[in-house]
Amino acid sequence: MLKYIYNFYKKVRRNLIREVELYDVEFEDDMWNFKMKLKNFWLTKKSIKFVYISGESNLELSHHVNRDNLTLKLPLEYIHCADNSKIQMLSDGKNLVITPNRNLRGWMGRILKSKFFVISAHKNIRIKKILDDVSFKEEVTVENIFINYEEMILSLENKDIGNLKEEDVSVLAISGNAKRTFFPRVVDRNKLVCPEMDYLSQGKWVLFLSIKDVNFPLVIDNIPTQGFDTYKHKVQVNKLDTNELVLHVARQKIKIDHIGLNHNGEKVTLAIESNQFVEDGNYQLIMNDTRSTDFYYSLRYTAEGLECDIPISDLLHNYTRKRFFILLDDEQPIIYQFLLKKRHRTYLIDQKLVYDSQNVIYDFYIRKDKSLGIKILKPKVEKVINNIKELNVSGYVNNLSNFIDCNLFLYVEERNSKDYIKVPIMENFSVDLGKYNLPSLKSKDKTIFDFYIVIENKDHGIVRKEKIKYKYSDYKKDNYYEHVVKVDEYSNNHHFLFTTTPFNNLKIETFIIPHYIDIPDDTSFKDDNIWLIGERYNTAQDNGFVLFQWLQKNTDIDVYYVIESSADDYVRIKHLPNVLEFGSDKHYQVAFKAKVLLCTHDLENILPYKPAKGFFHYENTFKVFLQHGVLGRKNVEYHKRYYEIPFDLFVVSSEPEKREVVMEEMGYNEEDVVVTGLARFDNLIQKDKPKNILLMPTWRDWINTDEQFLNSQYYKRYLSLINSDELMELLDFYNVNLNFYPHYRAQEYFQKGSELTSDRVNFITLGSKTVQELLIEHALLITDYSSVSFDFTLMNKPVIYYHFDVKRFFRRGILRPVEETFLGEIAFSESELIKLIEERLSLNLKNYKIDVSGVFKYQDSDNCKRIYDKIITSLHEC
């Protein structure tokens, strides 16, 4: 009955949510017409309106509705001077979300007034001018096209372009916001040989001839449609209605007639039949694990087709989903994606087996793209803590019957040292943690304990280790469910607070008030002139430290910087006045009195006690979020709803960041958010011209153990890059070095597990230089999603982004469209990345022509002053 009610509710809800899909754009001489489908607009069609927003101007656009079809008209005269603009759709004053049709993705651009504009749909319809450093002229005609494996030869009309010089010529391919540049060979003065066409990804690509920063659309007239193969793709040469040369790029696919499976002990035999197999071809099966590595298996011929044996251990590796490809390893190798039909599903049945002391099901299935995949179903463990009283926790664990000869434990694990208390439990359990010496588990005075349910096999090996949720979780960063104080033999007060993570997992936050700390009788009074500032508890090289130094130099504020004494940065700054050792007597005394608390992260990092109501009148402080980067990419956990006492002031760098992210997405009021720029931007002063490349990736939040890291795609991708022969040749040719600065959590792994094959690549160890020093000392930055790219862009230097795992990284959503915050070029594979590096090196590391107005309001050295002025003004208004 409950399932019926739930399904009915889902159906009703689907019929109530209004959806808008952009499915076509028609281009006229003086007008662009946007075609949309409306869904669930029962009574609100008359209230719809569209507003074109460009800079400070807002213009209402006309539209026409015919049943559920809507046509929106945009006069081209509105766009002439706009670099970036957008069209908002409103109904009853509320902004509606516009999504693109799947078939619309790809070619969505037009030349207007010698400039190139790209159209995209992400909540709003967005119109962006790209390639602002080049102009677009009249078309050049392609007389003929010759094609072969991964190569295309274009024969151009001499009357259009004269004699071509190879050093001046490139071919530009554009697909939506993506662009690729080829450096062709010039043959017979007017023939271009374009190699490595596999550099293009799936979609529609329109080609332009580039001669000294002038782009000419390539057009074809009477050339018949033709195609050629690359390693991964099948490319069809065609033309648009306007005769522009377009390449339709699609995956190589092989139609499968039948698939057979035979589970036999420690292996699975996979039999494949297809009438497209080449006789005597050398075929291999590739099992692709998108999170780690690829497995290759030789396919042998049988009377029916091809088959191979796959070890069960490979299939279940990391318990991750995998997909399959077929490689024809010939003189011109081709990798094929399976093309399956629904009727093959009968051959892809669930298989059950005991593996790693648990019942596991693996299932070959047909993916949405009609290819072959496999998913692994481990037995789910239902677990919850449903009662907390003082230090006693109670709960239950279900579904243990799928574990063979296993025992159950509750782990309480210290987050830093990984030391733990191990308590044997039953399916229904109640554990009194007061019986255990919790203070002895702490590696430092202020730390966190995590709760895990652990299942061990008969040999004491861990079969499963999972965090456990609290049934009545109400997650906020500054709340708690139970608070217990324990006094040790030295009369120190150890505070234990039960709290939860953003995923509702239970944890204990603990801090100490040492016996020698003199607590004032009245901690409600806070001194407006005493400020406490910091970053992460173990760093001093970001916005916090820059602002701290500026305040000391330019104001009379009694400002203190707090950092752990064990941090590498502490050694560098401990001689400075007002630098506090975290947890010291002086730190407590300043924390009790400080009116203004400023941090780049949560205030946990700068207070020796819990930042929550009731702890030494924390509610009387003025809280400033300095940030550690420009927001707009990954969803961060600083939403106002996550705090009982939220930040009083939230620092941002632009109006779009303020309104679209911090106000609309994170729930802050306009008066809470100040556009000042980040403090560290003041120090981005380029004195000497650099020449080297900095590789600086960020972390992946799904990596939690050593084993996960060493088996991760993240680790293997960057190992492959820093040992790439192609990249080393490039660095040698241009006499440039690549300096690799891994994320602080990855430093040890890369330094221990990497044997560099060239002196051109160097590791930069944590603490040997500040991040700002590194950014200033390099000419090109390669990162993935790190916000340090904004600092680099602000210095007018080029950034290349490496997005091999973009879908997983943004699995929880992205706050602003990719093109608004990733200012530079994006590579999705190692080969693309190396090509983009080569392009920048060939141009003497010249920056891309980009518009930064949507990211930075100010490009000066007054960011610290603006932050200080805003705080002082706010304090006076309190």
Which 8-state DSSP code applies to residue 660? I
Average pLDDT over residues 229-241: 87
Nearest CA to 703 out of 337, 318, 428 is that of 318
Q: What are phi and psi of 686, to 5 degrees?
A: -90, 115
SS3 of 11, please? helix
Cα dihedral across residues 232, 237, 243, 245: positive or negative? positive
Give 388's strand partners: 393
Give 185's strand partners: 193
Q: What is the pLDDT of residue 107?
A: 60
| Angstrom distances, CA of residue 704 to CA of 421, 745, 811, 824 | 19, 10, 17, 31
Element (H, E) at 371: none
| Angstrom distances, CA of residue 117 to CA of 83, 120, 128, 365, 453 | 9, 10, 5, 41, 54
Give 509's strand partners: 448, 497
Q: What is the pLDDT of residue 815?
A: 66
Average pLDDT over residues 603-607: 97
Question: Residue 221: left (phi > 0), alpha (psi -120 to 50), or beta?
Answer: alpha
Nearest CA to 189 out of 164, 210, 209 is that of 164
Nearest CA to 121 out of 102, 139, 137 is that of 102
SS3 of 736, please? coil
Sheet with 300-301: list strands edge to edge: 258-264, 267-273, 306-311, 300-301
Residue 313 near residue 228, CB atoms below 8 Å = no
- Here the tokens at position 705 are 């153990």
Q: What is the pLDDT of residue 625?
A: 97
Instruction: Give yes or no for residue 241 having a pLDDT over 80.
Output: no
Residue 411 near residue 369, CB atoms below 8 Å = no
pTM of the model: 0.79
| Angstrom distances, CA of residue 781 to CA of 182, 759, 791 | 21, 19, 10
Question: With pLDDT > 70 as the criterion, what percentage of the chain qualifies?
Answer: 93
Question: With pLDDT > 90 as the criterion, what percentage of the chain qualifies?
Answer: 50
Written as one letter, the residue type at 468 is: I
Lowest-confidence region among 36-50, 92-106, 762-776: 92-106
Task: Give helix then strand counts, H and E, for the chain.
Answer: 18, 60
| DSSP string of 379-410, one letter each residue | PP-EEEEEEEETTEEEEEEE-GGGBSS-EEEE
Instruction: Give yes or no for residue 197 having a pLDDT over 90.
Output: no
Lowest-confidence region among 322-331, 532-541, 547-556, 840-849: 840-849
Q: Which residue has the tokens 């630098």?
A: 579
Q: What are phi and psi of 138, to 5 degrees?
A: -65, 160
Cα dihedral across residues 625, 626, 629, 630: positive or negative? positive
Lowest-confidence region among 41-45, 629-633, 852-856, 858-862: 41-45
Question: Using CA atoms in the order 784, 788, 794, 800, what is the torsion angle rounded to 10 degrees?
Answer: -20
Distance CA 396, CA 426 (A): 8
Q: Give the start-end residues of each E strand in 808-874.
A: 825-827
- Here the tokens at position 58 are 């807002």
* First CA to last CA distance, the chain: 55
Average pLDDT over residues 497-507: 96
Written as one letter, the residue type at 271 is: A
Side-chain-facing half-sphere of 504: CA atoms under 13 Å: 10
Q: Report how far Cα 705 is from the mean position of its chain's Cα atoms.
A: 20
- Here the tokens at position 147 are 């094609």
More confident residue, 118 or 605: 605
β 372-377/462-467 pair status: unpaired
Q: What is the pLDDT of residue 440?
A: 92
769 Cβ neighbours under 8 A, 6+ residues apart: 777
Q: What is the pLDDT of residue 2?
A: 47
Residue 98 near residue 817, CB atoms below 8 Å = no
Question: Residue 382: left (phi > 0), alpha (psi -120 to 50), or beta?
Answer: beta
Nearest CA to 215 out of 273, 171, 157 is that of 171
Distance CA 597, CA 591 (A): 9
Give the pLDDT band (50/70/90) at residue 162.
low
Mean pLDDT in the chain? 88
More confident residue, 108 or 101: 101
Average pLDDT over residues 39-48: 76
Nearest CA to 326 out of 354, 296, 361 is that of 296
Lowest-confidence region among 49-63, 336-350, 729-743, 857-871: 336-350
Q: Report how far Cα 212 is from the mean position of its chain's Cα atoms.
A: 35
- Here the tokens at position 529 are 């002139």
User: What does the H/E/C string look like for 664-714?
Assistant: CCCCCCHHHEEECCCHHHHHCCCCCCCCCEEECCCCCCCCCCHHHHHCCHH
| DSSP string of 550-601, one letter each residue | HHHHH---EEEEEE-TTSHHHHHHTTSTTEEETTSHHHHHHHHHEEEEEESS
Element (H, E) at 471: none
Please write the tens of the pLDDT for every residue from 691-738. 899 999 998 888 877 778 888 888 888 988 998 989 999 999 999 999
SS3 of 176, please? coil
Domains, in order of start, for the chain = 18-128 (2.60.40), 135-251 (2.60.40.10), 253-347+366-373 (2.60.40.10), 382-513 (2.60.40), 527-682 (3.40.50.11820), 686-842 (3.40.50.12580)
Buried b (16+ CB within 10 A) or exposed e, 603-626: bbbbbbbbbbeebbebeebbbbbb
- Here the tokens at position 489 are 């033999």
Which 8-state DSSP code applies to residue 318? G
Average pLDDT over residues 612-624: 96
| Angstrom distances, CA of residue 85 to CA of 112, 119, 127, 128 | 14, 10, 5, 6
Q: Give the start-end residues of each E strand in 45-97.
A: 48-54, 57-61, 63-66, 69-75, 84-91, 94-96
Lowest-confidence region among 211-220, 297-306, 549-558: 211-220
Rounded to a whole number of angstroms, the CA Rg of the chain reads 30
Q: Which residue has the tokens 């699609």?
A: 250
Instruction: Give yes or no for residue 8 having a pLDDT over 70.
Output: no
575 Cβ neighbours under 8 A, 6+ residues apart: none
Please write the tens of the pLDDT for every residue from 782-821. 999 888 898 898 888 999 999 988 888 877 767 677 767 7
Q: Which residue has the tokens 């300043």?
A: 590
Instruction: Give yes or no for residue 6 having a pLDDT over 50.
Output: no
The CB density around residue 210, as the number of other CB atoms within 10 Å, is 19
Written as one letter, the residue type at 634 is: K
Please write the tens of the pLDDT for every residue from 351-396. 888 999 999 998 888 888 889 999 999 999 999 999 999 999 999 9
The alpha helices in 555-621, defined as continuous H runs, are 568-573, 585-593
More confident residue, 817 or 486: 486
Q: What is the pLDDT of residue 213?
A: 75
Residue 387 near residue 379, CB atoms below 8 Å = no
Residue 22 near residue 125, CB atoms below 8 Å = yes
Q: Which residue has the tokens 């239970």?
A: 506
Buried b (16+ CB within 10 A) or exposed e, 4-15: eeeeeeeeeeee
Distance CA 681, CA 239 (A): 47
Nearest CA to 559 out of 859, 231, 872 is that of 872
Instruction: Give yes or no for residue 588 having a pLDDT over 80.
Output: yes
Residue 497 near residue 447, CB atoms below 8 Å = no
| Angstrom distances, CA of residue 307 to CA of 270, 285, 347, 563 | 5, 9, 15, 61
Distance CA 268, CA 251 (A): 27
